[in-house]
């Protein structure tokens, strides 16, 4: 199954992201990520045998017990890919706590002999895909802050008209 590990975002941050999407609707054509699918990917594992899900879950338990919840806030808009069909995202700022969370998740997955996408971690929440950025100006994004305390292992199902992310295992930072 296709797996990824993501941080779940505080309510105030999610609300702001949805507001940013609403402001974008007038300016940019593309496919919007559904509000209940907005997330911050920490590590993308790709295909993993179903029998190894428990091992991934244990790795996450190990990491998250060792890190306390911390504050994050939203930043700027950015994009990946071609201007005519881009991935449009909003950055998330969480200082060294966020980068060290991503690094320890990745290190623990590596220790458990999983492989994952090794692109350097760039903390962002995808808002739109296939976004046409060739005309119009981007609006100012909404800002918000909140406490990040939840990391989830998701299964991604891409067989339907839109991706479906199913939570398989959720851990709370600073708890065992
Ligand atoms: P679709 O691929 O249909 O546009 P999606 O990208 O949301 O949907 P997945 O491809 O399963 O669904 O990706 C799940 C999460 O992992 C998303 O946050 C995505 O940005 C991220 N992701 C996917 N592929 C990679 C990769 N190669 N490297 C890093 N992150 C990735
Ligand atoms: Mg994808």
Is residue 54 scored above 60 in pLDDT?
A: yes
Instruction: State if residue 85 touches ligand 1 by the CB under 6 angstroms criterion.
Output: no
Region 92-98: mean pLDDT is: 98
65 vs 43, higher pLDDT:
43
Instruction: State if residue 116 touches ligand 1 by the CB under 6 angstroms criterion.
Output: no
| pLDDT for residue 4 | 98
Ligand number, closest to the Cα atom of 164: 1
What pTM does this model have? 0.95
| pLDDT for residue 98 | 98
Arithmetic mean of pLDDT over the chain? 96
CA distances from residue 77 to 5, 88, 92, 122 in whole angstroms, order as listed: 22, 7, 10, 13
| pLDDT for residue 132 | 96
Superfamily holding 2-172: Cyclic phosphodiesterase (3.90.1140.10)
Q: How confident is the model at residue 175 (pLDDT cuts 50, 70, 90)?
A: low
Domain residue spans in the chain? 2-172
Is residue 119 scored above 60 in pLDDT?
A: yes
| pLDDT for residue 155 | 98
Instruction: State if residue 4 touches ligand 1 by the CB under 6 angstroms criterion.
Output: yes
Ligand number, closest to the Cα atom of 43: 1
């Amino acid at each position: 199954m296709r797996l990824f590990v993501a941080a779940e975002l505080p309510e105030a941050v999610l609300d702001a992201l949805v507001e940013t999407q609403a402001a974008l609707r007038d300016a940019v054509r593309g496919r919007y990520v559904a509000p209940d699918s907005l997330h911050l990917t920490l590590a993308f594992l790709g295909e993993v045998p179903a029998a190894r899900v428990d091992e991934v879950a244990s790795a996450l338990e190990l990491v998250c017990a060792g890190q306390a919840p911390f504050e994050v806030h939203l930043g700027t808009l950015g994009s990946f890919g071609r201007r005519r069909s881009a991935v449009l995202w909003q950055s998330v700022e969480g200082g060294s706590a966020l980068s060290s969370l991503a690094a320890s998740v990745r290190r623990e997955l590596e220790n458990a002999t999983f492989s994952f996408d090794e692109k350097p971690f760039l903390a962002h929440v995808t808002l739109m895909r296939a976004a046409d950025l060739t005309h119009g100006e981007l609006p100012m994004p909404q800002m918000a802050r909140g406490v990040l305390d939840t990391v989830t292992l998701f299964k991604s199902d891409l067989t339907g008209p839109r991706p479906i992310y199913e939570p398989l295992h959720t851990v709370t930072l600073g708890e065992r």
